[in-house]
Structure 1
Amino acid sequence: MPKLVYDFAEGNKEMLELLGGKGANLAEMTNLGLPVPPGFTITAEACRAYLATGSVPPELADEIDHHVDALQQRMGKKLGQADDPLLVSVRSGAAVSMPGMMETVLNVGLNDDSVNGLAHQSGNPRFAWDAYRRLVQMFGKTVLDMDGDIFEDAIEAAKAAKGTRNDLDLDADDLKALVDTFKKAVHDATGREFPQDPRTQMDLAIEAVFRSWNADRAVLYRRQERIPTDLGTAVNICSMVFGNLGMDSGTGVAFTRDPATGQSGVYGDYLQNAQGEDVVAGIRNTVPLADLEQLDKTSYDDLMAIMAKLEGHYRDLCDIEFTVERGKLWMLQTRVGKRTAAAAFRIATSLVDEGVIDTDEALKRVKGAQLAQLMFPRFDADADKERITKAIGASPGAATGKVVFTSAGAVEAAEKGEKVILVRRETNPDDLHGMIAAQGILTSRGGKTSHAAVVARGMGKTCVCGAEELDVNVAQGLIKVNGTVIEAGQTISIDGTTGEVFKGEVPVVPSPVVQYFEGSLAPDAGDELVASVHRLITHADEVRRLGVRTNADTADDAARARRFGAAGIGLCRTEHMFLGERRESVERLILADNDAEREAALAELEPLQRDDFLELLAAMDGLPVTIRLIDPPLHEFLPSMEELAVKVALARERGQEPGHDAALLTAVERLHEENPMLGLRGVRLGLVIPGLFAMQVRAIASAAVELKRQGKDPRPEIMIPLVGAVQELHLARDEVEAVLAEVGVEWSIPIGTMIELPRAAVIADQIAEAADFFSFGTNDLTQTTWGFSRDDVEGAFFSRYLEKGIFAVSPFESIDREGVGALVRTGAERGRATKPDLKLGICGEHGGDPDSIQFFHEVGLDYVSCSPFRIPVARLEAGRSALD
C-alpha cells in the first residue's frame, strides 16, 4: 500500500487525484508561503480502500498517529488537552469540486473537560460553548446519521425562550444548556454517549467522510455533473482557526473575479463572529466583501494581496475561503472557481488580453455545454411585468414556473411535465434533487457564495439569492413580500442576472448569442459576451479538424443551420417528407395490388419529392447534402391497427361496409411486425418494394440537374440505410447508379451507407468496397448493440440504471465508448483499411454531445452532424478536441 497521509508541505496542486482538490491546493498555498493552518491530508486511495472493504486500511492508524504527533509538536498543544486543547477540522475534498455534497466536522477534540480550558484560554466562554455545541451538532448529523432537525429545533426553542431570532443573542449559559440538550439527543437517538476521546472523534469523523462519497446527494451530483464514481475523496485534517471569537473575527468566501459575470473587482461575502459553514449554508445574511475594508483594513489588505498572488499563480479565477481570527488572516481553501457560462467566456478572453494565457488555452477553458446555456432565451426587457422584489442575481438565466416549497414537490411536479421554481429560505445539500428538477431557485437568505448559488452556477441553473423581503412560510405554503401574497402553485419568474423576481410569466426573447449566430447582431456591436463568444468560436473554427454538418429535412432548417455555421447536411431523413397530406399517396403505394397501381402511387410522390430536394439543395448550395433514402417500416405511415380495428368493427356493427378502412386494416395486419426496428425497413424496403428507392433517387437527381441548369452547385450524397451485408449495398448501388445515368447526371454523386448495425461495423472492410462514405447512425447502433428498444426502455428502467450506477449517463445521450464506441472505432479502421480516402461522419444525436465529439475526433471521423441549434456547440467542441 502506498503512502496514505501527506503533510500539507509535502503536496502540490498537481496531486489532485491523490490529495483531492482541497488538499492539493492547501499544499500549494502552504508552499507559496501563505498563512495556512498546519495540517495533513489522508489520500483518496485510503477512501477507495475503505469503500472496497468496508474498513480503513490497517496501516492508516499508524500514519495518522505520526502526523497527529507532528502537528501537536508544531502547535504546542494536544488534542483533548484540558487547559489549552488542539482542535482540528475533518473535511472532505475530492479531485473534482462537489460543493456541499460530502461531509465536514469542525472543532474535533473538544470534550467536557477541554471546553473549559478553551473558555479560559480564549477568555470567551460563549465562544467555547458555541464551538462545543457545533461539534456535537455536526457530529450527530454527519457521523451518527441523526436527523439534523433535532438540533435545529432545539436551537429555535432556545432562541424563542430568549425572545430572539438571532443566534448571536444566545449567551454562554444558553449554549452550555444547548450542549446538554444535544448530548441527551445523541444518547436518545443512538443509545450511547457523545464520545469524549478526541482520537475516537477524529477516527469516526474520517470514516463518515469516506462514507459520504456514496451519500445519495453525492451520487446524484456526480451523475448530474458526469463525475467518475470511482475517484473517492481525500480527507483533510486541519488545525482550527476561529472566526467566532468575537466581532474582531469572522469568516468569508472571496472570488478574484465575479463568478457570475467575469468582471474584475472585489467579490465575495463576509460574516463577522462566525464559522465558515455559516456563510456557505446561507443561514445568516452576509455583508459584501468590500465591507471588510472598514471592519478590518489590515486583514482586507492582506486578503487583496493574497488574491492577486493566487490568481497570478493559477492563471484563472480563484475561489477562496478564509477566516479572520482576532485580526489575523488565515487561508482555508482555494480552487479554480466555478463560474457561470457567461463568466467562463469573458474570463477566458480577458486573461488573453491581459497576457496571462494564449487563445488556445482560453478555448480549452470554455465548454460546449456552457455555450448551449448562453443560447437560452432571456426575459423581454420591454414586456409589461410586475416586479415583487430584487435580490442577488447568483446564477444567470430567465426561469419561469410554479412556486414549490420542497424538493420533493419540485421532483413530483417536474415528473408531471410542470415547470417549477423551488423557493426556500436557504438550500442545503439534501435539496439537490429538487434543484435539478426545478427551472430555477429562489432563496430568502444567502449570497453569491451560499450553497444555492454555488451549486446552481455549477449546473447552469438560474438562481436568485438573499431576497430578504421574502417571508417564506413553508407550513402555510405561501410567500409574503411587500404586501403581495403568492401561494404554492402560482407562477413567478426570476432573472438570475439582475436578481429581479416577477409575479406571473414574463415573455422571453432570443439571447444575444443566438442573435449573433443568426447574423442579426454583429460581434463588434458592444456586447462583451458576444464579442468573447465570437473570438473563441472563430478560433475553434481555425484549429478544428472535424467538420460540422446538420441534421435537417426542410429548407428552413437548412438555412438556419447554415447561418449557425453548418458545412452541409449530414442527414436528411426523407421519411419526414411523406407525412401530412402525402399520407394518402403512401397509403395507395402500400395498398397497391399490382405493378400498375404501385407505379401510379410512386408517380404521385416523385414530383413532391423533387420539389423537396429542389428547396433543400438550393438552401445548401455549394455544400454537401447527405440524403438518406426511406428508412422506417411502411406501417408507420398508416393508422394504428387498434384504431382501425375499432372503426371496422363499429362500422360492421352498424351494418355499414367499412371499405377503405377494411383494406387499410388488412394492410396494417400484413405489415405488422413484433419488432419493427429490426424488421422490413431501410435497404430491405428498397430491395423488396420495386421502384421505391428509384423514385427517390430520380427525384434527387432531377432536382440536382435542374439546379445545375440554373447555375447553382448542388452537392447531393445518397445514403443507403441499415446495410448489414455488402451484397445489399451492391444491389442498391447498382439501382442508384442506373437511375442517375437515366436522368442524365454528368458528375459524380457519392453513394454511401449508414453504419447502424454491429455486423456492419465488424465487416466494414467489405462494405467499404461499395461505399464512397460511411455515416455512423449511433442512435440505432446503440439500440442494436445494447439490445435496447429506445422507445420502450428509457421510460421503463433507465432511471433505475442511473441510480444503481450501471450508467453514468444514458448511452443515447453520450456515446458508450467501451461498447458502441468500440464498434465505431472498428468500423472506421476497417473501412479505411480498404479505402483510405473513405469519408466518415456521424449523424446520430451524439453528434451534438460535447463528450461524444471528443471521442469522434479521437477515432478520426471527418465530421459530426447534429441539430441546427447545436451546431455552435459542436464547432466549439471540435476546436477544443483538436487542442486536447
Structure 2
Amino acid sequence: MAAETMTKTKWVYAFGGGGADGDAAMKNLLGGKGANLAEMSSLGLPVPPGFTITTEACTHFYANERNYPAELEAQVAAGLKTVETLTGKAFGDAANPLLVSVRSGARASMPGMMDTVLNLGLNDATVEGLAKLAGDRRFAFDSYRRFIQMYSNVVLNLDHHMFEEILDEHKERLDVTVDTALSAEDWEAVVSDYKRAVEDERGAEFPQDPQAQLWGAIGAVFASWMNDRAKFYRRMHDIPESWGTAVNVQSMVFGNMGDTSATGVAFTRNPSTGENRLYGEFLINAQGEDVVAGIRTPQALTKVSREEMGEKAPSMEEALPDVFAQFKDVVSRLETHYRDMQDIEFTVEKGRLYMLQTRNGKRTAKAALKVAVDLASEGLISKEEAVMRVEPASLDQLLHPTIDPASTREVIATGLPASPGAATGKIVFTAADAEQQGGSVGAVILVREETSPEDIRGMDAARGVVTARGGMTSHAAVVARGMGRPCVSGAGEIHIDTRAGELRARGRVFRAGDVITIDGSTGEVLAGAVKMIEPELSGDFATLMGWADAVRRLKVRANAETAVDARAARQFGAEGIGLCRTEHMFFDPARIAAVREMILADDEAGRRAALAKILPMQRADFVELFGIMEGLPVTIRLLDPPLHEFLPHTAEDVEAVAEATGLDPVKLLRRAEELKEVNPMLGLRGCRLGVSFPEIYEMQVRAIIEAACEVAASGRPAPIPEIMHPLVAKGEEMKFLRELTDRTAKAVMAERGQTIDYMVGTMVELPRAAIRAADLAEHAEFFSFGTNDLTQTTFGISRDDSGRFLNAYIDKGIFEKDPFVTIDQDGVGDLIRLAAERGRAARPGVKLGICGEHGGDPASIAFCESVGLDYVSCSAYRVPIARLAAAQAAVGEREKDR
C-alpha cells in the first residue's frame, strides 16, 4: 500500500495554454513563482507554457542524500512533452528546437539568491536550427554564448569572470565597447572560445545533450537552496530552511530578437514611495537578466517617467505603443486580481507580449504603508487586511533620521533614487571590507560598480549602498529596499578603481575611509557628514497605526529610565513604562560617589547615611518619569546588578576615585576584592541585595512613593507605580520583599498624609520562579517575564558569550533562530505558559507581561498573544513595531478560532 501511495505522488505541475494544474493558493507546494504562473495561465494571460517541480521534491532531494524521487524523471518527461505540444517545438530537435529556462521559486521571494539558467537546450546543432527559425544568425549565437556562460557558472561552477575576459578580448580586438556591435561571425568566434575555455578548465567538452543539460540545471537550482547567500538571506528574513524551493521549467521567449523585442520589470505602484503609478524599466533587444543585473542602462516604461528622469531613449509607451497598451491592461488586471502591488517580469518577442512572473512586490516601509492605506481606501482590501499587509520590522526604516532639508548639500554625484532614507559612513569598495568594518563596529557605505548576490553580507553590514551601474530594479536596488538600506544606483558619473581604493567624481578623488552621505530618496551622493532630522510619524503611518491600535489586545509599553527615552516612548505610542532599570540611574557621575560610599560602609548606619544622599536624586528621577507618563503605569525594577560593578578595579582607577571622593584607597580596593564573585550574574544581585541589605530597597521604595505623592499633589495625573523585585525564586523571598515594600510605602503615605495606589510584583527570570509561580502570586500582583535572563538560565547560555557559537548552531539547524532574538517557544515559552497558568490559578487578576528584548520581536509578540499576556515592553524605537505586531497577532489568533 505504501509503495502504491508513493507512485501517486505528483511532483510536476503543468501550466500554460490557458490552463494549469495548480493555482495561487498552492504557493507552499509550487513556490511563489510556480503558483503565480499557474494562476496567470488560468486567467488566460499570455504565459509561455512550462511546468513546476514541487518544493516537496526539493525536500526529498535533501532528505535522501541529494537523490531525486523515483517518479520524477518520468513526470518531467511528461511535462516536457506537454510543453512541446503547446509550442509546436521539440526539445533537442536540430530543426525546430524547444529551448527552456530553469528557474528557482521558493514560497517566499528571495531575489537573486538562487540560480537561473536561460536558453537551455542549445548545442552545436540546435543553434543552427534556431538561427534558421529566427532568420537571425547573430541572435542565435548571442543566445548560445549567454547559455554557455550561465550554465558553466551555475551548473559547472566555473568562474563567470573567465567568460567576461574572453568577451572583453574580442571587443578590444574589434575596437568596440558594446555587445550590439558584434556580428554573427564575432559571436560564433566567442562561442568557440567559450567552449574551448570550458574544456580546458574541466577536462571535458561543454555538455551537448539537452537532457543532460536539463537535469544538470534542475540539480543546480535545488543545490542553490543551500548556497551561502541563500542561507544568509533566509536567516536575515526568517525563512525556514525546511521550506525548500520549487523549480520552474518554462519555454523560452526571446526579448533579444531585434527592435520589436524587449524585456522588462515593472511594479504596478512605486515600490519606494507607494505612489499609484506604473513604475519600472525595460530594454529593447535584451534578455531578462540584462535588466535585473544592471549590465545595460534600462529605459523608462512611460513617456512621463522618461521625461521626469531626463532620459533620451524612447520609453516602452513610445517605442512599442500597441504592446504597451496591452501590457497596461494586463498589469491593472493583475493588481485587481491579487489585491496588492505586483512585481512583474515580462518579455516582448517580435511584438508579442509574454508574462513571465508576477508576485507581491517588495517595497519600502513608506511604500508599504501608503499602498496598504490606499488599497483600503480604494475598497480593494479591508482595514484589518491593510494592517496585515505591513511587515512590522520594516517600520524601523521610518523611525530614524533623514537629511535635514536646511543642510548644505555638497553633491559629488547623482544617480537613481533606488531605496529611500539617508546614511553617512566611510567608503568601502568591497563586500568583505563592509563586513569587517561595518555593522556594530562602524558606519560604512558600500560603493560598487554593481552589486551581485554574493555581496549580500556586505550590503547587510553597510549603512547604505552606491552603485555606478544598474537601474531602479537592479540587484542593488531590490535587495537594499528589502533590507531598509538607502541606495543610490546607476550613478554613472562615479568612476571606481577598486584596486587603488579610489572613487572619482566631478574632478574630485575620494579614497577608502573617506566619509560620504547618501540620500536614497533623491539619488544624491554627498561629500562628508550631513545633519539629519527626526522623522514625522503622521499621514499614512498614523492612519495605519490607528487601525492597528483598534485591532490589538496586547498593551505596548517601553523600557525607559531617562527622560529622553520616556518622551520618545510617548511619541511612538507607548502605553506606559514596562521596565525602568534603576541601576542605570545609580551610574550617573553626580551620584556614583554616594553609591560607592554606601557599598564601602562597615555597617547599616553607614549605608543608610549614604543612601540618604542618593534618595533625593532617585526621587527626582521618578518625579520626572511620572510626569512624562501622565498617569500611565510605570514599572520600576529595584536595584539588580552585583554591587562590585559600581566599584573601580584597577589601581589607577582606585586612586582616582579615592582622590575624588576622599575615600581610603586601601579600603576601597579591599572592599572591591571582598565583593568579587566567580559568577556574579548568579551571585549577590537582584532581590538577594534586598534581602541581604533591606535598607537599599527601602530607600528605593521610599523614593518611588514620595515621587508619586509629589506628582499627585501637584495636580498632575496620579501615577501608577509598579514596584518590581528582580530575580525572585521562592515564595518566601517574595513574601519578605512584599512586606518590606508595603511597610515602607505605608510609612511614606502616613508622613505625607496621602494615599497612593501602587502594585508590587516580580520579574520572572529563573526557571524555578516559573515552576513555582503560584507561590510568588500569593504575594505578587504582577509578573514581568525577564526573557533575557530566563533564556540564559533555561539554556545555561551567557548572552554575552553566545555569539561565538550560536551561528554554528543555526547553520547546522540545531537552532532555527537565535533564542535571544525570538523566544524559544518549546522551552522558555513553556515556562512562560506554565507560570501564567499557575500564577492565574493562585491570583486570577495577576497582570502578566514581558520586558526582555523579545518584547519588540514580532514572532515573540505573537507568542505573547497566544499565551494571553497583558502587555509587552520594548525599547522606545521598537514601540511602533510592537503595536503593529500585536495587532497582527490578534488577527492571527482570531483566524485560528474560526
Q: Same fold (TM over 0.5)?
A: yes
Q: Is the 8 A contact 1:644 1:665 kept in 2?
A: no
Matched residues in 2 for 1:867 and 1:301: separation?
A: 50
Which residue identity does 1:240 align to in structure 2?
M
Q: Which residue in the other structure is 2:111 paired with?
A: 99
Instruction: Work out whether 1:613 is the aligned partner of 2:617.
Output: no
Q: Which residue in the other structure is 2:722 paired with?
A: 717
Q: Which residue in the other structure is 2:306 paired with?
A: none
Q: Which moved more, 1:26-35 or 1:690-699?
A: 690-699
Q: Is the 8 A contact 2:709 2:756 kept in 1?
A: no
Q: CA deviation at 1:443?
A: 1.2
Work out which of the residue numbers 244, 258, 281 in structure 2 matches 1:246. 258
Q: Is the 8 A contact 1:137 1:182 kept in 2?
A: yes
Q: Which moved more, 1:718-727 or 1:579-588?
A: 579-588
Matched residues in 1 for 2:381 and 2:646: separation?
A: 56
Work out which of the residue numbers 686, 695, 699 in structure 2 matches 1:695. 699
Which residues of structure 1 form unaligned runs of 5+?
514-529, 652-657
Could you say if the C-alpha distance between residues 557 and 479 of structure 1 is closer, same or farther in structure 2, counting changes exceeding 3 Å?
closer
Q: Which residue in the other structure is 1:517 paired with?
A: none
Aligned pairs (5 A) from 1:143-292: 143-290=155-302, 291-292=315-316
Instruction: Work out whether 1:23 is the aligned partner of 2:34.
Output: yes
Q: CA deviation at 1:473?
A: 2.7
Which residue identity does 1:665 align to in structure 2?
L
Q: Which residue in the other structure is 1:756 paired with?
A: 765
Q: Which residue in the other structure is 1:111 paired with?
A: 123
Work out which of the residue numbers 881, 885, 890 in structure 2 matches 1:882. 890
Instruction: Work out whether 1:451 is the aligned partner of 2:458.
Output: no
Aligned pairs (5 A) from 1:255-334: 255-290=267-302, 291-334=315-358
Matched residues in 2 for 1:153 and 1:808: separation?
A: 41
Instruction: Work out whether 1:368 is the aligned partner of 2:376.
Output: no
Instruction: Work out whether 1:601 is the aligned partner of 2:607.
Output: no
Q: Please report the TM-score for the alignment, with normalisation by the length of structure 1.
A: 0.94
Could you say if the C-alpha distance between residues 265 and 613 of structure 1 is closer, same or farther in structure 2, counting changes exceeding 3 Å?
closer
Aligned pairs (5 A) from 1:659-678: 660-678=664-682
SS in 2 for 1:665: helix
Matched residues in 2 for 1:709 and 1:129: separation?
A: 87
Matched residues in 1 for 2:527 and 2:564: separation?
A: 36
Q: CA deviation at 1:47?
A: 0.7
SS in 1 for 2:259: coil
Which residue identity does 1:83 align to in structure 2?
A
Count of residues in Structure 1 that have an aligned counterpart in Structure 2: 860
Q: Deviations over 1:592-628 (max 9, x none)?
A: 2223222222222223322322222233232211111
SS in 2 for 1:201: helix
Q: Deviations over 1:367-399 (max 9, x none)?
A: 222222112211122212211222210110102
Q: CA deviation at 1:474?
A: 2.5
Aligned pairs (5 A) from 1:766-785: 766-785=775-794
Q: CA deviation at 1:741?
A: 2.1
Aligned pairs (5 A) from 1:434-833: 434-513=458-537, 530-579=538-587, 580-640=589-649, 660-712=664-716, 713-743=718-748, 744=750, 746-794=755-803, 796-833=804-841
Matched residues in 1 for 2:578 and 2:591: separation?
A: 25
Matched residues in 1 for 2:486 and 2:74: separation?
A: 47
Q: Which residue in the other structure is 1:134 paired with?
A: 146
Q: Which residue in the other structure is 2:3 paired with?
A: none
Which residue identity does 2:706 align to in structure 1?
S
Q: Deviations over 1:187-242 (max 9, x none)?
A: 12222211111111000100000000000111111111111111110000001111
Could you say if the C-alpha distance between residues 709 and 510 of structure 1 is closer, same or farther in structure 2, counting changes exceeding 3 Å?
closer
Instruction: Work out whether 1:842 is the aligned partner of 2:850.
Output: yes
Which residues of structure 2 form unaligned runs of 5+?
1-5, 303-314, 893-898
Could you say if the C-alpha distance between residues 492 and 610 of structure 1 is closer, same or farther in structure 2, counting changes exceeding 3 Å?
closer
Q: CA deviation at 1:748?
A: 4.2
Q: Is the 8 A contact 1:268 1:289 kept in 2?
A: yes
Q: Is the 8 A contact 2:49 2:250 kept in 1?
A: yes
Matched residues in 2 for 1:461 and 1:561: separation?
A: 24
Q: CA deviation at 1:808?
A: 4.5
Q: CA deviation at 1:721?
A: 0.7
Q: Is the 8 A contact 2:101 2:250 kept in 1?
A: yes
Q: Which residue in the other structure is 1:381 paired with?
A: 405
SS in 1 for 2:25: coil
Which residue identity does 2:58 align to in structure 1?
C
Matched residues in 2 for 1:363 and 1:733: separation?
A: 42
Q: CA deviation at 1:462?
A: 0.7
Matched residues in 2 for 1:647 and 1:541: separation?
A: 52
Could you say if the C-alpha distance between residues 249 and 642 of structure 1 is closer, same or farther in structure 2, counting changes exceeding 3 Å?
farther
| Root-mean-square deviation (Å) | 1.9
Q: Is the 8 A contact 2:439 2:462 kept in 1?
A: no
Q: Is the 8 A contact 2:720 2:757 kept in 1?
A: no
Could you say if the C-alpha distance between residues 581 and 99 of structure 1 is closer, same or farther in structure 2, counting changes exceeding 3 Å?
same
Could you say if the C-alpha distance between residues 874 and 470 of structure 1 is closer, same or farther in structure 2, counting changes exceeding 3 Å?
same
SS in 2 for 1:735: helix
SS in 1 for 2:250: strand
Matched residues in 2 for 1:72 and 1:559: separation?
A: 67
Matched residues in 1 for 2:555 and 2:291: separation?
A: 47
Matched residues in 2 for 1:537 and 1:324: separation?
A: 42
Q: Please report the TM-score for the alignment, with normalisation by the length of structure 2.
A: 0.93
Q: Is the 8 A contact 2:705 2:756 kept in 1?
A: no
Matched residues in 2 for 1:66 and 1:13: separation?
A: 23
Q: Deviations over 1:58-83 (max 9, x none)?
A: 22111111111222222222111011
SS in 1 for 2:232: helix
Which residue identity does 1:732 align to in structure 2?
L
Q: CA deviation at 1:747?
A: 4.7
Could you say if the C-alpha distance between residues 692 and 269 of structure 1 is closer, same or farther in structure 2, counting changes exceeding 3 Å?
same
Could you say if the C-alpha distance between residues 556 and 454 of structure 1 is closer, same or farther in structure 2, counting changes exceeding 3 Å?
closer
Could you say if the C-alpha distance between residues 548 and 659 of structure 1 is closer, same or farther in structure 2, counting changes exceeding 3 Å?
closer
Matched residues in 2 for 1:555 and 1:371: separation?
A: 23
Matched residues in 1 for 2:857 and 2:736: separation?
A: 35
Q: Which residue in the other structure is 2:132 paired with?
A: 120
Work out which of the residue numbers 352, 369, 375 in structure 2 matches 1:345. 369
SS in 2 for 1:691: helix
Matched residues in 2 for 1:709 and 1:506: separation?
A: 46
Matched residues in 1 for 2:39 and 2:833: separation?
A: 40
Q: Which residue in the other structure is 1:851 paired with?
A: 859
Q: Which residue in the other structure is 1:412 paired with?
A: 436
Q: Which residue in the other structure is 1:516 paired with?
A: none
Q: CA deviation at 1:805?
A: 4.6
Work out which of the residue numbers 33, 39, 60 in structure 1 matches 2:50. 39
Q: CA deviation at 1:470?
A: 2.1
Q: Is the 8 A contact 1:20 1:96 kept in 2?
A: yes
Could you say if the C-alpha distance between residues 706 and 441 of structure 1 is closer, same or farther in structure 2, counting changes exceeding 3 Å?
closer
